Amino acid sequence: MTITVVPALATAASAATGDATLAATSPIVTTPDGGTATVVVQLDVEGGGTLPADVTAQWATGAGSATAGEDYAPVSGTITFPAGTASGATQQLTVPTAPSAEGETAETISIDLAADDASIGTRPTVVIDAHGLPYLDASLPVPARVDDLLGRMSLAAKVGQMTQAERAEVDDSQAQIADLMLGSLLSGGGSGPEENDPEAWADMVDGYQLWTRLTPLQIPLIYGVDSVHGHNNVVGATVFPHNIGLGATRDPALVQETAHVTAEETRATGIPWTFAPCLCVARDTRWGRTYEAFGEDPSLVVEMETSIDGFQGGDVSALDDPDRVLATAKHIGGDGDTEYGTGDDLGSGPSTYPIDQGITVTSREEFERIDLAPFIPAVQQHHVGSIMPSYSSTDYTEDGLGNPIKAHADASVLTEFLKDEVGFDGFVISDYHGIDQIPGDRASDVRTWVNAGGDMAMEPDDYASFEITLINEVLEGRVPQERIDDAVRRILTKKFQLGLFEQPFADRTNLDQVGSAEHRAVARQAAAESQVLLKNSDDALPLADDAPLYVAGRNADDLGNQIGGWSITWQGQSGRHTEGTTILEGIEQVAPDADVTFSVDASAPIDPDATGVVVVGETPYSEGYGDVGGPLWAYDPADEGMPREPKTMDLRAEDQAVIETVCAQTATCVVLVVSGRPLVLSDQLGDIDALVASWLPGSEGTGVADVLFGRTPFTGQLPQSWPRTVEQGELNVGDSTYEPLYPFGWGLSTSADLPLSDAQVSRLAETLAGGDAGRLTGPLAALQNAQGLDAEDPRVRELVGALRQVVQQLVADPVTGVPAPAADRIARADVALLEEDVATTVRLLVEAATV
């Protein structure tokens, strides 16, 4: 066992006798059965000086659950720090234990420590680890281990496993972890160690995990964090594009690799569980969480569910690997489909979310087609380990309007659909304070949540109340014991599969890979593939390496803006708060010979022969604070109490002014929009030569520069329909009236490596422009007539992509965008291809060019 000295508070340079403190370096010291515990005692001298006189302490084994004379022989002694000893010095004492003939749960031995001439800080407890019991036997099947452990647990221990607390709330009294037998802790957005680096994160999590060793059964914590686009709470971690950008890549293999990197960096810091991916279908771009979604159509969301395999390794047998974590599919129950104006009222006036946490008004059939569909393959194909419900409510039309039910209370979704129909065998975790939004009192909230199918409650600061309330509800018969056992069985199963009983503390094997060059290369590729080229008049892109460039705009050289929300803090921050490369820095790296002038507001003189590169868009936000017309955030330290800018789908006036200035004075004007959703810029489209949807590309701005200079071709496609007006916030492929500026699936390419010759492309364009679709020749004719062709065949996708490129060039107007009839067919063609219906894809693309 180790004893650590508590630092003194005074600042004197030297200390007199009596100004010394002795303390254990760790409050808990474990030893295997029959082993010897080594306790380290540390000296702290006030002011950091040296001892002017000897300090002697007496120590002895004391009370505990271990039996003296049977489990250990009582021991005692003294330790002396002689005069002149420097502050920080340590000495050791040892406590031998005796081997047991049979298996036992963990037992404790207190250590009494006293001194006449020094203060006493932390007094340690020696723990003889649990041993010899079936649930500790890794050779047994997981179900057998769960059965054995469950049979040894009290009701209080079971309810503890169903409880998750925010780590900051237990930090001042970490003994609560043991006292309440908590099953889980989390770090909410921005909740981390004071020294924010990977090593400190691992130390922090291990410190919490240590307290579980004090409980008889020693069930480890499962620690969770929102690693939603990388291990984004950690300074120096690799940060990927948000999901909206990953959806634009149309590259499931790359999305899987980004999740794998995230898993490796997360697990290295001792965290085995991420609250990702978000499988919501974003149906209204006014929603502040739009960037959390892969796209507006469930077919695209399903395509990107390879992220689950990246996190978990594709099979539960990989969960205990040091580069894998448990994934969470979220948020089931209408997330992304709520109606504008129904958002959660957090109080009144400016504290109201217009759409986030609102109400989804839908039929059961549409609810299953749009909102529930992504969760079926998540469970049945990807075996996701946990699922989180939405804050939102659903008002099913079949039983009349006006009676919405919270997703956290909806047994028809959490139990009947998810567990009974789809066969989900993981556990359901509530969202942050999610059960508290269920109408009713505290007791009804708790029992409704559990009886609806909730397994673990994320109760950041109400964890003790949750445990007391749930225990009482069980004792009163309002929550069946069988429901408790089912919930705990699901949680314990994942803990065993994660290998937490064998390795409860951080496996730091990959800690040096956090933010590594190899990982950043993946993020750079993801950033490049996420860029969507909306307009490219006269081949404005790619840029020449040695061309004079005039770079402007507030998002050109702001790492925080290009990373977005959920980055170091919950809401994210403008400025540089982690490691990475801005878009401007990326330009300078990728094209070092370019003559670059940078002016944020375009106030510097402009060379009329220069190419303008204007980078505009949004500043960071998360959740309801990103709702268009929503409340203003002002609470991150960097905000200094000043509210952030209002959220709108319009470009800010200063952004519009920079575009106007640069595009009016440069030979060619390229505009990049860095944002978490499409923004309206229809009025300026005619002034822009090339327009790029950059989304929120993450920490590697070099990836954006790669496509600007042609190092990598533009291949991205819109995951969200790009609106013409602010009034088109609710605009989705397949709408009866569908008039976007650019449709779902739109994306020009700068690749010179099309699978068709120039002559074939010209002939194809002439044929389509002439309206004679029947004259299609060569491989495209075969595609058009093919039935049941495998859409996963790369050759097929390449040919369809070539056809799409030709069609886009034919239908795009440089000033007004894409005509509605063509936009409708291009969007539906993309959905058809995602659904592997190649024949319909080709038919719709041909129609797009000929309507």
> Which strands sit side by side in the sheet containing 405-406, from one edge to the other?
359-362, 393-396, 405-406
> Of 9, 470, 808, 31, whose CA–CA distance to 800 is shortest?
808
- Measured CA to CA in angstroms, residue 430 lies from 208, 630, 696 at distances of 21, 24, 27
DSSP 435-504: GGGSSS-HHHHHHHHHHHT--BEE-TTTHHHHHHHHHHHHHTTSS-HHHHHHHHHHHHHHHHHTTTTT--
User: HSE on the CB side for 391, CA within 13 Å?
Assistant: 21
Tell me the catalytic residues: 431, 623
Q: 828 near 844, Cβ under 8 Å?
A: yes
Residue 416 backbone dihedrals phi, psi, to 5 degrees: -65, -45
Q: Report the C-alpha gap between 716 and 693 in whole angstroms.
A: 9
Return the residue matching tokens 């209370």.
Answer: 409
Residue 583 backbone dihedrals phi, psi, to 5 degrees: -65, -40
Q: Report the C-alpha gap between 697 and 686 in whole angstroms.
A: 26
For Cα atoms 184, 190, 196, give the angle at the middle one, nearest 5 degrees. 95
Enumerate residues 6+ apart whose C-beta is below 8 A from 348: none
- Measured CA to CA in angstroms, residue 489 lies from 134, 164, 496 at distances of 16, 16, 11
Helix (H) / strand (E) element for 536: namely strand 532-536
User: HSE on the CB side for 430, CA within 13 Å?
Assistant: 33
Which residues pair with residue 91 across a beta bridge?
Answer: 41
How many contiguous H segments (helices) and E segments (strands) does the chain have? 25, 26
Alpha-carbon torsion, ordered 253, 259, 264, 270, to 10 deg: -160
> Of 615, 590, 612, whose CA–CA distance to 710 is shortest?
590
Q: Residue 303 corresponds to which tokens in the numbers above?
A: 């395509």
CB atoms within 10 A of CB 455: 25
State the chain's maximal CA–CA distance in angstroms.
102
Residue 795 backbone dihedrals phi, psi, to 5 degrees: -65, -40
For Cα atoms 581, 584, 585, give the angle at the middle one, nearest 5 degrees. 40
- Please name the amino acid found at residue 466: F
- Please name the amino acid found at residue 396: Y
Helix (H) / strand (E) element for 820: namely helix 820-834
Q: What is the per-residue burial (b if ≥16 Cβ within 10 Å, else e) of 534-570?
A: bbbbeebbbbeeebbbbbbbbbbbbbbbbbbbbbbbb
Tell me the Cα Rg of the chain.
30
Q: Report the C-alpha gap between 205 and 317 in whole angstroms.
A: 24
Q: Report the C-alpha gap between 21 and 675 in whole angstroms.
A: 54
Helix (H) / strand (E) element for 186: namely strand 184-187
Tell me the torsion sign for CA atoms 297, 303, 304, 308.
positive
Which residues pair with residue 164 across a beta bridge?
Answer: 184, 458
605 class by beta-carbon count within 10 Å (0-12 exposed, 13-18 middle, 19+ buried)? exposed
Q: Residue 820 corresponds to which tokens in the numbers above?
A: 């509605």
